Amino acid sequence: MLDQMSRAWSDPEMLWLNLTNATLGLVCLVCIGAVAFAIAHELIERALAHRETHAFHVAGLGLTMADGGEPVKPDAEKPVDEHR
């Protein structure tokens, strides 16, 4: 069996097929590793997000503000434009 494998790698007709298969196998392993890393990263981020205090839902909080919670002061009463 070992003799057959060494012949397969030394045969010029089979060499390119074997090299192509080995390269595609490595590419598949890299892709699987990248997907596994992305899934693990997402799960870790979600687990850590639950530890933060602002991640909890508080019913009396109301709408969140995009500017970080600084309330916008209303302008003084503007004069009504009668030309409209």
Say if 44 falls within a structural domain: yes
Residue pointed to by tokens 């508080």: 58
Range of the domain at 42: 26-50
Say if 32 falls within a structural domain: yes
Say if 68 falls within a structural domain: no
Q: What is the pLDDT of residues 3-19, one digit of tens each?
A: 777 777 778 888 888 89
Q: How many domains does the chain have?
A: 1
Q: How confident is the model at residue 50 (pLDDT cuts 50, 70, 90)?
A: low
Say if 77 falls within a structural domain: no
29 backbone dihedrals φ, ψ, rounded to 5°: -65, -40
Say if 71 falls within a structural domain: no
Q: How confident is the model at residue 39 (pLDDT cuts 50, 70, 90)?
A: very high
